[in-house]
């Protein structure tokens, strides 16, 4: 490899690393302050750079949040699709989807909070129409698993699957507002206890 090419690749790697750092900072700021209320200057201040320097990496605040959300959703759906295509029973699919959801919260907590708090506002723009598609797809996935579980006799038939879906969605994803990777319970352990509470309840038998 020529010195010029080596230097070029080194520069590209350094720039990609810096870009990732800036996105992580922006995600934290958007999650804590709200996307609409946050200015590019505030993101730059949190990153310790001048406002103009941020435009070297991103052309707008919209581009930053787009990349934050699309990266998170691409990873999430790749994992979900792998689970639902594995040919597992409904109960085991349920287990793995909940566990994977907590893994996503662990990896992408600020992005999850932005997705929860900002999606409907952002989706008014054609650029973010994929957010509505993701919400629709998420609902369809869970209802498919729950309905299959009822038909197979794995889940109770006297409960409305639409209500179960809303309960799971809200109880799992709201954890992003309080979960901390350095907390007393790991994401895997929280997922395990959530699954026990949902499937077995909290009463002693």
Banded pLDDT at 5 (limits 50, 70, 90): low
> What span, in angstroms and rounded, lies between the C-alpha atoms of 196 and 189?
11
| Whether 66 and 13 share a structural domain | no
| Whether 51 and 134 share a structural domain | no
Q: Does residue 163 have a pLDDT over 80?
A: yes
| Whether 120 and 156 share a structural domain | yes
| Whether 49 and 65 share a structural domain | no
Mark which of 12, 36, 59 sits at the end of a domain: 59
> What span, in angstroms and rounded, lies between the C-alpha atoms of 88 and 152?
12
The distance of Cα 86 from the centroid of its chain, to the nearest Å, equals: 21
Q: Among 5-14, 64-73, 138-147, whose mean pLDDT is lowest?
A: 5-14
Q: At a CB cut-off of 8 Å and minimum separation 6, what does 23 contact?
A: 64, 67, 68, 71
Determine the average pLDDT of the residues in 6-23. 71
Residue 2 is predicted with a pLDDT of 59
The C-alpha angle with vertex 125 and arms to 124 and 127, in degrees rounded to 5, equals: 140
Counted domains in the chain: 2
| Whether 201 and 189 share a structural domain | yes
- pLDDT per residue over 47-57, tens digit each? 888 777 888 88
**Whether pTM exceeds 0.85:** yes
The distance of Cα 196 from the centroid of its chain, to the nearest Å, equals: 22
Containing structural domain, residue 163: 60-205
Residue 10 is predicted with a pLDDT of 59
| Whether 173 and 163 share a structural domain | yes
């Amino acid at each position: 490899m020529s010195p010029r090419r080596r230097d070029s690749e080194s520069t590209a790697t350094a720039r990609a690393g810096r870009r990732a750092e800036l996105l992580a900072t922006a995600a934290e700021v958007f999650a804590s302050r709200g996307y609409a209320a946050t200015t590019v200057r505030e993101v730059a201040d949190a990153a310790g750079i001048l406002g103009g320097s941020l435009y070297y990496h991103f052309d707008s605040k919209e581009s930053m949040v787009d990349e934050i959300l699309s990266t998170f959703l691409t990873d999430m759906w790749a994992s979900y699709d792998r689970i639902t295509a594995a040919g597992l029973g409904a109960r085991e699919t349920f287990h793995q989807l909940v566990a994977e959801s907590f893994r996503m919260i662990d990896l992408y907590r600020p992005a999850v909070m932005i997705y929860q708090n900002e999606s409907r506002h952002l989706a008014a723009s054609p650029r973010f129409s994929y957010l509505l598609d993701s919400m629709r797809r998420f609902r369809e996935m869970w209802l498919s698993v729950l309905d299959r579980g009822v038909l197979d006799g794995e889940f109770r038939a006297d409960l409305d699957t639409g209500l179960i879906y809303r309960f799971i969605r809200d109880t799992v994803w709201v954890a992003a507002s309080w979960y901390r990777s350095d907390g007393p319970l790991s994401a895997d352990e929280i997922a395990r206890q959530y699954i026990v509470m949902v499937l077995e309840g909290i009463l002693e038998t």
